Amino acid sequence: MFNYSSFAKTALVATALMTTSVQAQETVVWWDFLGGGDGVRMKQMISDFNAAHEGEITIDATTLEWGVPFYSKVQTSAAVGEAPDIMTYHASRIPLAVDQGILQEITADDWATMGLSEDDYADATWNAVTIDGKQYAVPLDTHPIVLYYNKDVLAEAGLLNDDGTPKGIDSREGFTATLQALKDAGSVKFPLGSVTADGNFMFRTIYSLMGQQDGELMTDGEFLAGDNKEKLQNALGVLAEWTNEGLQSTYTDYPATVALFTSGEAAMMINGVWEVPTMTDLHEQGKLFEWGAVELPVIFDHASTYADSHAFAIPANKGKEMTPEKRAAVLEVMSWISKNSLFWATAGHIPAYGPVTASDEYKAMEPNATYSSLTENMIFDPKTPLAGVAGPIFDVMSTYFVPTLNGEMEPSEAVEEIQYELNDMQ
Domains: count for the chain: 2
Instruction: From 345, 372, 399, give the residue that closes a domain.
Output: 372
Which CATH number do you get for residue 246? Answer: 3.40.190.10
Q: 211-230: b or e for each residue (b if 16 or more CB lie within 10 Å)?
A: bbbebbbbeeeebbeeebbe
pLDDT band at 23 (very low <50, low <70, confident <90, very high): low
Nearest C-alpha neighbor of 371 from the set 382, 379, 380, 362: 362
Contact 295, 177 (CB under 8 A): no
Q: Are residues 283 and 343 in the same domain?
A: no
DSSP string, 59-121: EEEEE--TTHHHHHHHHHHHHTT-S-SEEEEEGGGHHHHHHHT-B--B-HHHHHHHT--GGGS
Helix (H, G, I), strand (E, B) or coil at 325: helix
CA-closest candidate to residue 339, choices 130, 140, 187, 97: 140
Confirm whether 4 is domain-assigned: no
Q: Which of 6-10, 103-107, 150-154, 394-398 has the lowest mean pLDDT?
A: 6-10
Helices assigned H by DSSP within 340-371: 354-357, 360-363, 368-371
Q: Tell me how far apart the alpha carbons of residues 313 and 340 are, in angstroms, rounded to a whole number.
A: 18
Q: How far apart are CA 351 and CA 340, in angstroms?
A: 10
90 within some domain: yes
Gap between the Cα atoms of 179 and 192, Å rounded: 7
Residue 67, φ and ψ in degrees, nearest 5: 90, -145
Whether this prediction's pTM lies above 0.85 is answered by: yes
Q: How does pLDDT run across 53-69, given as a tens digit for each residue? A: 999 999 999 999 999 99
Q: Kindly state whether residues 22 and 129 are assigned to the same domain.
A: yes
* Distance from C-alpha of 88 to C-alpha of 341, rounded to nearest angstrom: 14
Instruction: Give the separation between CA 38 and CA 307, rounded to whole angstroms.
Output: 17
Q: Looking at the structure, do residues 104 and 127 belong to the same domain, yes or no?
A: yes
Inside any domain, residue 316: yes
Cα(188)–Cα(190) distance, rounded to whole angstroms?
A: 5
Structural domain for 196, as ranges: 145-306+391-424
Give a yes or no: residue 380 inside a domain: no
**Best CA proximity match to 379, nearest among 132, 141, 212, 237:** 212
Q: Is residue 245, in this structure, part of any structural domain at all?
A: yes
Is residue 412 included in any domain, yes or no? Answer: yes
Contact of 383 with 391, CB cutoff 8 Å = no
As a whole number of angstroms, the distance between CA 49 and CA 294 comes to 32
Report d(CA 243, CA 366) in Å as an integer: 30
Tell me, yes or no, whether 199 and 342 share the same domain: no
Does residue 156 sit in the same domain as residue 20? no
Tens-place pLDDT, residues 314-360: 999 999 999 999 999 999 999 999 999 999 999 999 999 999 999 99
Together in a domain, 345 and 404: no
Read off the pLDDT band of 420 (50, 70, 90).
very high
Contact (CB, 8 A) for 407 and 224: no
Q: How far apart are the first and last CA of the chain?
A: 50
166 and 280 together in one domain: yes
Instruction: Say if 379 falls within a structural domain.
Output: no
282-294 pLDDT, tens digit each: 999 999 999 999 9
Handedness of CA 391, 397, 400, 402 (dihedral sign): negative
Does residue 7 belong to any structural domain of this protein?
A: no
Taking residues 249-259, report their average pLDDT.
Answer: 97
pLDDT at 167: 98
**What percent of the chain is predicted at pLDDT more than 70?**
95
Do 290 and 212 sit in the same domain of this protein? yes
For residues 152 and 276, state if they share a domain. Answer: yes
Taking only the tens place, the pLDDT of each residue in 30-57 is 999 999 999 999 999 999 999 999 999 9
Cα–Cα nearest to 415, from 197, 191, 240: 240
Residue 79 and residue 198 in one domain = no
151-174: b (≥16 Cβ within 10 Å) or e:
bbbbeebebbeeeebbbbbeebeb
Q: Are residues 259 and 313 in the same domain?
A: no
pLDDT in tens, 142-196: 999 999 999 999 999 999 999 999 999 999 999 999 999 999 999 999 999 999 9
Say yes or no: 40 and 178 in one domain: no
